[in-house]
Amino acid sequence: MDITELLKFTLDNKGSDLHLAGSNQPIVRIDGDLQRIKTDVLTADAIRAMLFSVMTEEQRAVYERDLEHDFAISLGQDARFRVNAFTNRQGSAAVFRVIPTKIPTMEQLDLPPVIRRLAELEKGLVLVTGPTGSGKSTTLASMINHINQKYPYHILTVEDPVEFFHNSKTSLVNHREVGNDTKSFGRALKSALREDPDVILVGEMRDHETISLALTAAETGHLVFGTLHSNTAAKTIDRVIDVFPAAEKEMVRAMLSSSVQGIIAQSLLKKAGGGRVAAHEIMVGTNAVRNLIRENQLAQIYSMIQTGSRYGMQTMEDSVNDLLISGLVTQEVADEVLKDATESLEEASAPAGGAHGKGAPPPPPAKKANPLTGGAKPAAAPAKPPPMTETDKPEGGYSF
């Protein structure tokens, strides 16, 4: 099989990734599980030849010099692939990640309504977080697509590499790829502030300079989207702040508290009957949340999310339970995810003086009757929340 046949096989079987490694058969990830293709074992030389057949001369030179390289390729009109070519002890190896050419809508992804409202903000910082392969890029692509169809904005994306291509519709969309169109995220973001953007998408907020420039852009009236590899809203805020030296942390907390509009922590679960479905923890930047960030009381953010359903906030536990009750995931899958969520909560609720701030940990979440704990949801309606006051409303942009 040549590389084109392997990529087509991956698409035909609805795989998300194709793995090529020496002394192994080609392996495809389908619905989260790795499955071997029944074909001959690949040699490192064969994989190298496959890679060189889809690389440009410049990409080959970078790969030979650095022993690894990120790039993207297209397979006709059917799909694009994000490629990481690397070197292991056997020799050349690679992973091809499928990027659909047709961008799914928010309705097709069944995203919570609050995510649409976050996409319709005028300014601020919106982060989509989660582990590798959790669908962050797809969620962001659907949000950018919604803006592109509805608003006459200038949308600027900085990615490494560019994954989803958006044709300009109502908006003007400019894609910049690190390595080909700009030297670095930092240089692209410095230039972005002089390119009259309304919306800026930062492919990955990796370092001090990128995060600092993204915060500055959000503070100066732009809507900034970004991604981070973290599992919860509290960990996301912690990671952003921890990138900066101790002398700057207080200032960064103030900048982040004034600019953050929402954090979407996402996880992909195996869907009952095949496929995968996303579960979300969603934090909205209300004034109460902003105060917790400013005062370094991050351990209390989970409790704020629990009680913030009127703003569209939801915990990962609530999201998974809803998927379980609707029959989209099995109890086994839900148990596994909720176990991980509980461990993350316990870590975030460390005693005073821990990594998440100086305040006391929040009380443990109240137990709810659901299929995980036995019985159905309680029939009695929850107590009506107090009316929203002016101080509860998020600052700037769309009112939640």
Instruction: Tell me the pLDDT tens digit for each residue of 213-263.
Output: 999 999 999 999 999 999 899 999 999 999 999 999 999 999 999 999 999
Domains, the chain, with CATH or none: 3-100 (3.30.450.90), 106-392 (3.40.50.300)
Q: Is the pLDDT of residue 365 over 70?
A: no
CA distance 75 to 79: 6
Count Cβ neighbours within 10 Å for each residue of 347-381 and write b for 16 or more, e otherwise: ebbeeeeeebbeeebbeebeeeebebeeeeeeeee
Q: What is the pLDDT of residue 346?
A: 66
Residue pair 143/137 in contact by the 8 Å Cβ criterion:
no
Measuring CA to CA, how many Å separate 129 from each of 83, 253, 267? 21, 19, 9
For 196, counting Cβ atoms within 10 Å of its Cβ (0-12 exposed, 13-18 middle, 19+ buried), the class is: exposed
On the question of pLDDT at 355 being above 80, the answer is: no
pLDDT of residue 211: 93
* Residue whose structure tokens are 């692209």: 188
- The closest of 306, 290, 287 to 298, measured between CA atoms, is 290
| Order of strands across the sheet that contains 17-20 | 33-36, 27-30, 17-20, 91-100, 79-88, 69-75
Encode pLDDT of 275-330 as tens digits: 889 999 999 999 999 999 999 999 999 999 999 999 999 999 999 999 999 999 99
Q: Which of 41-50, 145-154, 175-184, 356-365 shows the lowest per-residue confidence on average (mean pLDDT)?
A: 356-365
pLDDT of 100: 83
- How buried is residue 104: exposed, middle or buried, by Cβ count under 10 Å (0-12/13-18/19+)? middle
In the predicted structure, residue 76 carries a pLDDT above the cut 90: no
Where residue 133 falls among pLDDT bands split at 50, 70, 90? confident
- Angle (CA) 90-96-102 rounded to 5° is 175
